[in-house]
Chains A and B, each alone.
Chain A
Amino acid sequence: MTNEVHERDKTSITTPSDTEIRIERMFDAPRQLVWDAYHDPELIPEWLGPRELATRVEQFDLRAGGSYRFIHTAPDGSEFVFFGDFHEIVEPEYVVRTFGWEGMPGKQSVERADFDELEHGRTRIVIVSTFESKEDRDGMIESGMEHGLNESFERLDDLLARRTKS
Chain B
Amino acid sequence: MVQYSPTDRTFAALADPTRRAVLERLGEGPATISELAAPAGMSLTGLKKHVRILEDAELVTTEKHGRTRHCHLGPKGLEDVSDWLETYRRGWDDRFDRLEEIIERKKGSST
By a beta-carbon cutoff of 8 Å, the part of chain A in contact with chain B is: 5-6, 9-13, 15, 21, 23, 25, 27, 29, 33-34, 36-38, 43, 46-51, 125, 141-142, 144-149, 152, 156, 159-160, 163
Contact = CB atoms under 8 A, between A and B. Distances in A.
A10 B103 CA distance: 16
B84 A47 contact: no
B90 interface: yes
Nearest to B89: A13
- Interface of B, helix, strand, loop or mixed by DSSP: helix
A129 to B, nearest CB: 11
Interface in B1-38: 2, 8, 11-12, 14-15, 20
A-B complex: 7 closest residue pairs judged by Cβ atoms: A47-B98, A11-B93, A13-B89, A47-B99, A144-B88, A145-B87, A25-B96
A46 B102 contact: yes
B68 interface: no
Nearest to B105: A37
B103 A33 contact: yes
Contacts of B95: 47-49
A47 to B, nearest CB: 4
Given A141-B84, A141-B85, A156-B2, A9 B102 contact: no
